[in-house]
Amino acid sequence: MRDTGDAAPAVTGGVGWVASIRRARQMPMHLIRTIEECSLNAWPPLRQHLLDGWLLRFADGFTRRANSVNAIYAGQLPPEEKIARCEAVYTSLGQPCVFRITPLAHPRELDDRLVARGYRREGETSVQVLDALPAASEPDPACDLLAAASHRWLSLFAGLDGTPPRHRRTLESILARIPPPHTGAILTVAGHPVSCGRAVLEHTQIGLFDIATDSARRRQGYAGRLINGLLGWGRGGGARRAYLQVEADNAPARELYEKLGFREIYRYWYRVR
């Protein structure tokens, strides 16, 4: 079960997209801003460049989140000039120019401008929150907490997620660069690891990432147990709210998160040149 929002097929607009925009407009913008800040910190690039309010991120092409432009605040330059400069930077690095479009994007018509330049839409992602963490319970002995950058966690996640060998060193480098407290987790059943994931704790927010379960062991409650273990770790560190990002078309994962009490607060997507 993969839920990073980095490998979804192209998605066009429609009723769901319109509803997500309306829902985002009804949410307190400070909450969206907090989740955006935390999620950017939780998945740092190898390099980044700030261009007049737009944050350009680079990680050797591994995941769109770490290789995209985030228009985080208004600047002074004309948008068309900034778009052209972003395209030049990514082209010089041999990478496609990718923009991540969120409710905070500046200017508001940025998505329309990219459409006019021929950018296609990909990777629609649902951002969800759990407003109150479940009450403390006895730790699950099958859930081991360990460093996400450890060889054991990396090997299991890369195998379950299908991470290409050429990107495994980049994955390790990204995990080693995460500033806030973070942990990995592995759920082991009958001596076999069946699920893994990781969490990042920033102040009172805990983000869940890279939840992956053995394809032969899905829909047996293992991912839920793993998530409860990560939430328990976060609660012990002072977390009061959890958030996650899940591919909008990943119905099984969204069903699981709904059962756990998560609710969608907004969506984002990518525009790819």
Does 216 map to a domain? yes
Model confidence pLDDT, tens digit, residues 57-90: 999 999 999 999 999 998 999 999 999 999 999 9
CATH, residue 172: 3.40.630.30
Confirm whether 90 is domain-assigned. yes
Residues 54 and 160 in one domain: no
Contact status, residue 15 vs residue 130, Cβ threshold 8 Å: no
- Based on the domain organization, do 162 and 75 belong to the same domain? no
Residue 17's pLDDT is what?
Answer: 46
For residue 135, give the amino acid letter.
A
State whether 168 and 114 are in the same domain: no
Residue 190 placed within a domain: yes
Say whether pTM exceeds 0.85: yes
Range of the domain at 42: 15-126
- Let me know whether 41 and 152 are in one domain: no
CA distances (Å), origin 254, targets 223, 224, 267: 12, 12, 13
Q: What's the pLDDT score for residue 111?
A: 98
* Residue 153 sits in the same domain as residue 87: no
Domain assignment present for residue 5? The answer is: no
pLDDT at 2: 45
Residue 22: its pLDDT value, please? 54
Out of 67, 92, 126, pick the residue that ends a domain. Answer: 126
pLDDT at 4: 46
The pLDDT assigned to 137 comes to 79
Q: Do residues 67 and 116 both lie within one domain?
A: yes
Do 152 and 202 lie in a common domain? yes
Run of H or E including 268: strand 263-272
- Predicted local confidence at residue 15, as pLDDT: 45
Where in 52-159 does DSSP place strands (E)?
A: 54-58, 69-71, 98-101, 120-130, 143-146
Contacts of 132 (CB under 8 A, 6+ apart): 240, 241, 261
Q: In total, how many domains does the chain have?
A: 2
Q: Are residues 114 and 171 in the same domain?
A: no
In a domain, 91, yes or no: yes
Residue 72 within any structural domain of the chain = yes
179 and 101 in a common domain: no
In this predicted structure, what is the pLDDT of residue 138?
84
Domain end position, chosen among 96, 126, 156:
126
Judgement on whether residues 87 and 196 belong to the same structural domain of the protein: no
Provide the pLDDT for residue 119: 98
Residue 131 forms part of a structural domain: no
Cα-based distances in Å from 255 to 29, 137, 181, 222, 223:
26, 23, 28, 14, 12
- The parts of the chain modelled with pLDDT lower than 70 are 1-27
